[in-house]
Structure 1
Amino acid sequence: MRYLSATYDVRNASADGATASPAARSNLTFVAVDASAPATISGTAVSNFKRFDGSAADASLAPKIVPTVGMTLTNGVPSVNASQADLQALSSSEVTALGVPSGARDVFQYGFVVRNKSGTGRTLPANPGPSQFDGLITFAVKLPLQANAANDPYSFSLVFEVYADSANRVTRVSEETVAAAQSRAAALGATLVDADTICTVRTASTNTLYGLGVSLTAPGGRDVCFGSGSGQVLTAVTPLQDVIRAMVLQPDGKIVVTGTSNQGTGPTAPNNNTDVAVARYLPDGTLDATFGTGGTFSTPVGAGASVDTPQAIVRQPDGKFVIAGSTTNAGGTTGTDMFLIRLLPNGGLDSSFGTAGKVVINAGTAAINNFAFGLDQQSDGKLIIVGYTMEGTAATGYDIVLGRYSKDGAPDATFGSNGLVLTSITTNGPSGDRAQDLQVLPDDTIIVVGTTTPAGTTGDTNGNDTVLLKYRANGTLDTSFGGNGTGYSVTPIGPNRDASGVQTASNDIANALVVQPDGSTVVVGGSNNLGTTTGQDISVVKFTAAGVLDTTFGSGGKVFVPMVAGSVLDVANAVQRQPDGKLVVSGTSQNTGSSTGQDFALLRLNVNGTLDTTFAGTGKELLAVGAGTASDLASALVIQPNGRIVLGGQSLEATNNTNFALVRVQP
Structure 2
Amino acid sequence: MDKKLTHIALIIVCFFNLNLKPSAGALDATFNPVGTPPGTVRYPTTSITLTGRALAVQTDGSVVIVGSVSTTSNAALVRYTNAGDLDPSFGSGGLVSTIIGTNSAFFGVAIQPDGKIVVAGFGTLAGVDTFLSARYNTDGTLDASFGTGGIVTTPIGATAAAAFDLLLQPDGKIVAAGRSGGITQFVVVRYTTTGTLDGTFGTGGIVTTTLGAATSGNAVTLQPDGKIVVGGQSGSPATFTVVRYTTLGVLDTTFGGTGIVTTTIGGSSTINDIMMQTTTGKIIAVGQRNLVGINNFTIARYNLDGTLDATFGSSGITTTAIGSSCQAFGAAIQQNGSIVASGSSQQPTTTFTLARYTINGTLDTLFGSAGVVLTPYAGSGTSGIARRVVIQNNGRIVAAGVFDNALGGARYFGDSIIIDVCA
TM-score (norm 1): 0.58
Matches within 5 A, 1:360-379: 360-364=153-157, 367-379=158-170
1:584 aligns with 2:340: yes
Aligned-pair CA distance for 1:221:
2.0
Q: 2:22 corresponds to which residue?
A: 217
Q: 1:664 corresponds to which residue?
A: 411
1:426-449 CA distances to partner (integer Å, 9 max, x unpaired)? 3xx4x2x21000012232211111
Q: 1:608 corresponds to which residue?
A: 360
Q: One-letter code of the match for 2:24?
A: P
CA distance in 1, matches of 2:148, 2:46: 26
Q: Which of these residues, 89, 113, 136, is aligned with residue 290 of structure 1? A: 89
Q: Which runs of 5+ in 1 are unaligned?
A: 1-23, 27-119, 124-166, 170-184, 195-213, 265-272, 454-458, 495-505, 653-657
Q: Which of these residues, 195, 199, 217, is aligned with residue 435 of structure 1? A: 217
Matches within 5 A, 1:231-630: 231-236=39-44, 239-262=47-70, 264=71, 273-302=72-101, 306-328=102-124, 330=125, 332=126, 334-364=127-157, 367-390=158-181, 398-426=184-212, 429=213, 431=214, 433-453=215-235, 459=236, 463-482=237-256, 485-494=257-266, 506-517=267-278, 518-529=280-291, 533-564=292-323, 567=324, 569-592=325-348, 597-627=349-379, 630=382
Matches within 5 A, 1:112-191: 185-186=11-12, 190=14
Q: Which runs of 5+ in 2 are unaligned?
A: 415-423
Aligned-pair CA distance for 1:629:
5.6
Evaluate the alpha carbon distance shift between residue 354 and residue 122 of structure 1 in structure 2; reply closer, same or farther with a 3 A threshold: farther
Aligned-pair CA distance for 1:613:
0.8
Aligned-pair CA distance for 1:519:
2.5
CA distance in 1, matches of 2:258, 2:241: 12
Q: One-letter code of the match for 2:274?
A: L
CA distance in 1, matches of 2:327, 2:255: 27
Aligned-pair CA distance for 1:349:
0.9
Evaluate the alpha carbon distance shift between residue 398 and residue 221 of structure 1 in structure 2; reply closer, same or farther with a 3 A threshold: same
CA distance in 1, matches of 2:9, 2:250: 65
**8 Å CA contact 1:539, 1:561 repeated in 2:** yes
CA distance in 1, matches of 2:105, 2:120: 9
1:202-222 CA distances to partner (integer Å, 9 max, x unpaired)? xxxxxxxxxxxx982222222
CA distance in 2, matches of 1:168, 1:283: 35
Aligned-pair CA distance for 1:371:
1.2
1:72-103 CA distances to partner (integer Å, 9 max, x unpaired)? xxxxxxxxxxxxxxxxxxxxxxxxxxxxxxxx
**8 Å CA contact 2:403, 2:409 repeated in 1:** no
Evaluate the alpha carbon distance shift between residue 244 and residue 477 of structure 1 in structure 2; reply closer, same or farther with a 3 A threshold: same
**8 Å CA contact 2:283, 2:304 repeated in 1:** yes
Aligned-pair CA distance for 1:521:
0.9
**8 Å CA contact 1:326, 1:336 repeated in 2:** yes
**8 Å CA contact 1:626, 1:632 repeated in 2:** no
CA distance in 2, matches of 1:257, 1:645: 14
Q: One-letter code of the match for 1:219?
A: A
Instruction: Give 3-state SS (helix, strand or coil) of 1:368's partner.
Output: coil
**8 Å CA contact 1:246, 1:257 repeated in 2:** yes
Evaluate the alpha carbon distance shift between residue 352 and residue 311 of structure 1 in structure 2; reply closer, same or farther with a 3 A threshold: same
Q: One-letter code of the match for 2:249?
A: G
**8 Å CA contact 1:626, 1:651 repeated in 2:** no
Evaluate the alpha carbon distance shift between residue 301 and residue 168 of structure 1 in structure 2; reply closer, same or farther with a 3 A threshold: farther
RMSD: 2.4
CA distance in 2, matches of 1:313, 1:215: 37
Q: 1:202 corresponds to which residue?
A: none
Q: 1:643 corresponds to which residue?
A: 395
**8 Å CA contact 1:308, 1:326 repeated in 2:** yes
Instruction: Give 3-state SS (helix, strand or coil) of 1:369's partner.
Output: coil
Q: Which of these residues, 633, 657, 666, is aligned with residue 385 of structure 2? A: 633
1:552-611 CA distances to partner (integer Å, 9 max, x unpaired)? 1111111111112xx1x311011111111111001011232xxxx310111011112111
Aligned-pair CA distance for 1:626:
4.0
CA distance in 2, matches of 1:545, 1:321: 31
Q: One-letter code of the match for 2:205?
A: G
CA distance in 1, matches of 2:100, 2:196: 17
Evaluate the alpha carbon distance shift between residue 297 and residue 602 of structure 1 in structure 2; reply closer, same or farther with a 3 A threshold: same
CA distance in 2, matches of 1:520, 1:375: 20
CA distance in 1, matches of 2:167, 2:46: 29
Evaluate the alpha carbon distance shift between residue 554 and residue 191 of structure 1 in structure 2; reply closer, same or farther with a 3 A threshold: closer
**8 Å CA contact 1:215, 1:224 repeated in 2:** no
**8 Å CA contact 1:583, 1:604 repeated in 2:** yes
Instruction: Give runs of ≥4 in structure 1 deviating > 3 Å.
Output: 120-123, 189-194, 626-629
Aligned-pair CA distance for 1:257:
1.1
**8 Å CA contact 1:221, 1:665 repeated in 2:** yes
Of structures 1 and 2, the one scoring higher in RCO (CA 8 A, sep 6+) is 2
Evaluate the alpha carbon distance shift between residue 168 and residue 407 of structure 1 in structure 2; reply closer, same or farther with a 3 A threshold: farther
1:436-469 CA distances to partner (integer Å, 9 max, x unpaired)? 000122322111111010xxxxx4xxx1111111
CA distance in 2, matches of 1:471, 1:25: 73
**8 Å CA contact 1:337, 1:369 repeated in 2:** yes
